[in-house]
Structure 1
Amino acid sequence: MNTLLLGVVGSNAYGLAHADSDVDRLGVFAAPAVAFHGLRLPIDRAATVVEHDPDVTMHEARKLAMLCLSSNPTATELLWLPSYEVGSPLGEELVGIRGAFASADGVRNAYFGYATSQFKRLLTTGQFQSKMRSRRSKHARHLLRLLDQGYEYYATGRLTLRLADPERYREFGERVAADPSVARAALAAAEERFAATRSPLPAEPDTPVVEAWLLRVREAYR
């Protein structure tokens, strides 16, 4: 596999990991350009490779770019890690153009929108209600993280993955696990913050910059 970039993401990147936490890795690879001329193209589901023990998710370069252009929180965090286990020249170029992927509405909708949808599931479906308390607590922690990180990204154009006060998120998770309605106040406060802030992010991503990078990847891996 032509790995361009690989790093540790998830709870270990946020500072929320505990002794039993898995170490999750996320990366981007380049499929050979000739693969895009066959019957089974390396796109959509075929563009993601998931392995376990250890847990690694790899997205093909085009798919990772498309996910980041929509400000997908899970994919976007790969571009904002403080260090990488694998960093090829093209991977370093990708990190260097990370600002090209963001747009004001895209970030707001991806982070605040996703957190809102997760909260609604927490309240209205049995999927989370039927899980053990620790599972509900974890979902709540990450809901608050998405709200805070999304707002920082929206308000400053930068994304900090390491949480300054991990205990705050753990405490929030425990409170929401006991009473999911507690999360309503956090969502309302986040909605007010987003509405009151003028983002420095552009109205649209800089897709020509992203496409130029992807074409360099295709040229390098014919």
Structure 2
Amino acid sequence: MAEEQGRVLLEGVVGSTAYGLAHAGSDVDRLGVYAAPTERLFGLHRPGESVVTTAPDRTLHEAAKWCRLALSANPTASELVWLPEDGYLTRTALGEELIGIRRSFLSARAVRNAYLGYATQQFRKLVAKEARDDGPGAVPPARLAKHARHLLRLLEQGVHLHRTGELRVRVDDPARLRADGERIAARPGEAEALLAAAEEAFSSPGVLPAAPDERPAEAWLVRVRLTVLDGWRCAPGGTAEEALARSQ
């Protein structure tokens, strides 16, 4: 359990629930960031950097790993710090600080590569031979529609992020996206024009810097390590500096 390895700093509900695309049978996906005990980082064998469970569906990344994922604009990791207020399950003072520096992780190249890259992966799944076969090993239509929805969502989110510097987690019109997903799943060739349009949009000037600013993430990680080393248990409220003062 992650609680045995460290302390959860920030956790929220992501995936289809956060996008507004969940249905009665949808899983509730949880994503979080935890801090490993600082003393365990000094030894010969470093602790693992992720904890994944299926009951509930929960993925927790160690603080340094999450920062690396966010600096590469990983879509799933990034959405954790852009959730609506009611999307969080755990939100400590250090988690609040992480939300506060979320824009410093962004860069034009990383956003383009990540969102366009993951959308292209979904397209390849749609046009793969097994996706078009009618035999026993055929991909179920519902799975194809899910790939198509992911493709559409990633393109919309990525282009909006490139143009505005804001990651919009919840889709504007879930019903439209579901309908478009069904259409693209049936006629995946139509997605090629969408991918080309997104690539053109990413090639146009946006608001994101050429490179991320790693300094806030580095400073935040140092505060996390010092705070955990000094024994503060990340209680909600207050600042890291206040917690450090209390622990002395």
TM-score by length of 2: 0.84
**What code does the residue aligned with 2:28 have?**
V
Matched, 1:158 2:166: yes
Aligned length: 218
Q: Give, in whole Å, the separation in 1 of the partners of 2:66 and 2:146.
A: 26
Percentage of matched positions with identical amino acids: 56
Q: Quote how far apart the aligned CAs of 1:182 are.
A: 2.1
Q: Is the 8 A contact 2:131 2:144 kept in 1?
A: no
Q: Is the 8 A contact 1:112 1:147 kept in 2?
A: yes
Q: Give, in whole Å, the separation in 1 of the partners of 2:16 and 2:104.
A: 26
Q: Quote how far apart the aligned CAs of 1:127 are.
A: 6.6
Q: RMSD of the TM alignment (CA)?
A: 1.4
TM-score by length of 1: 0.94
Question: How is 1:1-222 mapped onto 2 (pairs within 5 angstroms)?
Answer: 1=3, 2-42=7-47, 46-83=48-85, 84-124=88-128, 126=130, 130-195=138-203, 197-222=204-229
Q: Give, in whole Å, the separation in 2 of the partners of 1:155 and 1:175.
A: 27
Runs of 4+ in 1 over 4 A off after TM superposition: none
Q: Quote how far apart the aligned CAs of 1:39 are.
A: 3.0
Could you give the per-residue CA deviations for residues 41-66 of structure 1, whole angstroms, max 9, x where no partner exists? 13xxx211011121110000000000
Q: Quote how far apart the aligned CAs of 1:140 are.
A: 0.5
Q: Quote how far apart the aligned CAs of 1:117 are.
A: 2.7
User: Which structure has the larger Rg over C-alpha atoms?
Assistant: 2
Which blocks of at least 5 consecutive residues in structure 1 are unaligned?
Answer: none
* Of 114-123 and 5-14, the range deviating more from structure 2: 114-123
Distance 1:112 1:128, change over 3 A: farther
Q: Give, in whole Å, the separation in 1 of the partners of 2:45 and 2:126.
A: 38
Could you give the per-residue CA deviations for residues 113-154 of structure 1, whole angstroms, max 9, x where no partner exists? 221232123323537863200001001101100000001111
Distance 1:128 1:21, change over 3 A: farther
Which blocks of at least 5 consecutive residues in structure 2 are unaligned?
Answer: 230-248
